[in-house]
Structure 1
Amino acid sequence: MTANPGDDDSALFIADETGRILRSDAGAARLLALADGKPGGWSDTSLPGWLTPIFDAITGGGSRKAKSDGGLERENEAGRFVFRAYRLHRVAKNSGEVLYGISVVRQRALVSAITEAAAINGLSEQQRRVCIGILSGVSYSEIGRVLGIKESTVVDHVRRVYAKLDVHSRDELVRVLARAL
């Protein structure tokens, strides 16, 4: 789940068929590093090995990891990253070189987005944890078990959250928290 479409980060790369990065926009190295789990930034001139299967779908390589539309998804603590590859026209008429445009969109992780929205809306730490459970589709009894509280306490937290945010359903809760970001 994303908090809000406006909270997504996006970037573009131009790479050759070997995965060598030829051009990229300003945020590309940061997003590639986050997707790779390296917070320090991406300094390599080539795409990481886990991303090269993205070419298979558009070149006919047949990798099962790449989606049929030239896409690949990767998820970690930093969020969900969706990569899409597009074959670009040949650079020169007689050149055999083929280039690829690769877009990446990062959707913030649910926990990070809810933590920020909960703080903005004045929810307590326990109410934030209950919200994460609700928005993840977990039952009240399971939320209680995970948090070490009774199901009736979970229900009390839900009532307080709904009252504080003036919502009456899970869908309204999602909208209010998304708007806060």
Structure 2
Amino acid sequence: MDGRPLHRPPPRHRPPAPAASRRSPRPGGRDASDCRANGVAEGPLGRGRSSTGHGLVALLASEPTIDIVGEAGDGREAVRLVERLGPDVALLDLRMPVLDGVGATAEIVGGSARTRVLILTTYDTDADIERGVEAGATGYLLKDATREQLVEAIHAASRGETVLASRVAQRLVARMRQPVPVALTARESEVLNAVADGLSNAEIGRRLIIGEATVKTHLLRIFAKLDVSDRTRAVVVAMDNGLLQRR
């Protein structure tokens, strides 16, 4: 199930809204639209469940600061609804028929509407999280989120703030802390092997039939990848990490 709540402040000189969508002012003269969000949901109600056991749309329908402006039966329809209605937030699931949540997110983010995408799903694997975030989702929540957490997340997403479930945030931080594996290209390995053989830049160029300037460029890239500043250290670090195969 995907839903898309929207939150957009009105322009300064907004024409009168149709009676069906006009919002009554709050006590004190403040228009309810100042803190209101509109939404579109994708999928049958029964597919998206919160911990309360109620459908997502039914759960949000009673929230006075959120308007559900549409529901879609699949990811492709969700994209079309966003294009037509221009909601503030689209609430999407990763698993949707026709077009999955990642594909729908990418199309929505790349489209003309300024709609933020908030993913609400049961999937919290590293691969799923990365796919959703890389596609451009503003937030990523799990379906065990409470109603209060969901409402708060929708409003935060409508303001452009990043929203992550605590488990999702922990996974992302842990993954970022993992060392990035270093890999040398075939040419960089050839250059470094030549360095290990004690050849000068000019000699390396003649061996590999490349210019001396090209040799220097390869060495600079090798130094950057290995986080070293000289040739000897580059050879040592590469050998320690199994990146240099000596014949």
Scaled by the length of structure 2, the TM-score of the pair is 0.24
Mark the structure with the bigger radius of gyration: 2
Larger RCO: 1 or 2 (CA < 8 Å, sep 6+): 1
